[in-house]
Amino acid sequence: MHFNSLLTAAVMVGTSMTSVMAAPTVSYMTGMNLGTNTKTGACKTQADWEADFNAIKNDYSKGLTYQWNHIKLFTTSDCNALANAVPAAIKVGVKIWAGVWAHDGNKFNVEKAALESAIKNFGDAKVWLAGINVGSESLYRKEMPAWTLAERIYDVKGMVQTAYKLSTIPVGTADTWTSWEHPDNKPVIDAVDVVLMNGFPYWEGATVAQGLDKLKEAIAKTKAHTGAKPFVIGETGWPTYGPNFQNAVASKANLQAYWKAAGCYLISQRIPFFWFSAFNEPNRETAIEQNFGVGYSSRALFIDLKC
């Protein structure tokens, strides 16, 4: 089922425009980003997802006043992500923020179909589905014009919120602060229920001592252009190994320092966020990409997540 706009969706299912346009809220949460592959590069099975979720919810949460009970995924269909992850999430008791790739029309349709299948097949979606991203840094990478991304966001909103009556599930997209402040991207701001900002002071060439100020600056610039829209940090983190980027140095000590500064700041201000990422991923292409986890690929945590 294709919805070009929320108006079309409202007409098709006989819902009033007022109820369709009532924006969902976003609750406070602390979460982790996860990829779909094991450390060997194989696709994760349901058992793999269960082990991931248990490690994050239980081992990572020991002694904390906040709980790692939300997981953000980048895809619905790759490696049968939702088909395997949703039953694991229900069993363990975590919620998923689902990602729908949007930059290619055919891929978008496959991703949307996988999301619809999960909604249809796994009971009340409100039990396991926290929110949805349509695209990840699609504007930053100039993968599509803003109006195309906005149309695909409306399409998913029509399916989820109207056709399946999940009006409380927020739909957004994740992008950099430079994208959120660009005037050409206002159609996307208008389309989303929630703004997810990805902020990496490492990739801005900052020292770790400058990291929190850089993150605060990115938050302020994003909010200045997105107004009262609910706000979530979609990704932030610091790598532990790999080449320096300008003044930014990858090391475990710097990850620990960035967590104590930025992670604890987000918690103190009750800004919902997804840390990037839960585990190192040795199958990725570069050393930096392989080493953004707060835990080893074995799922063992190696920094102190207390504040």
**307 residues of the chain, pLDDT tens digit each:** 444 444 343 333 333 333 345 689 999 999 999 999 999 999 999 999 999 999 999 999 999 999 999 999 999 999 999 999 999 999 999 999 999 999 999 999 999 999 999 999 999 999 999 999 999 999 999 999 999 999 999 999 999 999 999 999 999 999 999 999 999 999 999 999 999 999 999 999 999 999 999 999 999 999 999 999 999 999 999 999 999 999 999 999 999 999 999 999 999 999 999 999 999 999 999 999 999 999 999 999 999 999 9
Distances (CA, A) of 103 to 5, 133, 137, 170: 18, 12, 10, 20
Residues 6+ apart with CB under 8 A from 238: 200, 201, 202, 208, 211, 250, 254, 255, 258, 259, 292
pLDDT of residue 21: 53
At 91 the pLDDT is 98
Check residue 7 and give its pLDDT: 36
* Domains of the chain with bracketed CATH: 6-290 (3.20.20.80)
116 and 159 Cβ atoms separated by less than 8 Å: yes
Query: DSSP labels for 31-53?
Result: EEE--SB-TTSPBP-HHHHHHHH
Helix-strand-coil percent breakdown of the chain, rounded to 5? 45, 15, 40
pLDDT of residue 71: 98
